[in-house]
Amino acid sequence: MKSNSKRKAFTLIEIMVVIIILGLLAAFVIPNITGKSEEAKQKLVCIQMKSLNESLKMFKVDNGGYPTSEEGLKALLTNPRPSEYTSYSSNAYIEGKNLPKDPWNKPYIYLNMDDTVDLVSLGADGKEGGKNENRDQKLSECK
């Protein structure tokens, strides 16, 4: 009795062709994806800063001015001066018990200069200056 069983397997050449095709696809796709992560983080910074700015505006409406630079963003969580901020919201101005951090897990910097506020994220390196993902981002520069 003859056996008609044929071996069902890939040849070495077929496997090599598949590996080459996958390598070419990766060479075209990966560079496009890797830059998108940092770009998304930079967009998230603006979204978070705009949200914090809205909370600061509500604070100003209730209390007649923005928190001082010394009081900082913590003033959105707890009333820093109950005797002065008598109209402080009973629910505070942001949810949760902690201030939001930027996408690189660093705190936002709050600046109040003559009742003009700005928020700053120092970027991925956490240092002033820098380029690309390390560049500083300011609320005043967000579109």
Q: What is the pLDDT along the chain (143 residues), one digit of tens a residue?
A: 555 556 677 788 888 888 888 888 887 777 666 666 777 888 899 999 999 999 999 999 999 999 999 999 999 999 999 999 999 998 899 988 899 999 999 999 999 998 899 999 998 888 888 887 788 899 988 87
β-pairing, 137-138 vs 109-113, is: unpaired
How would you classify the pairing of strands 116-121 and 137-138? antiparallel
**CATH of segment(s) 44-141:** 3.30.700.10
User: What is d(CA 84, CA 142) in angstroms, rounded to the nearest whole number?
Assistant: 32
Match 């109950």 to its residue by tokens: 82
Whole-model pTM over 0.85:
no
Domain ranges for the chain, please list them: 44-141
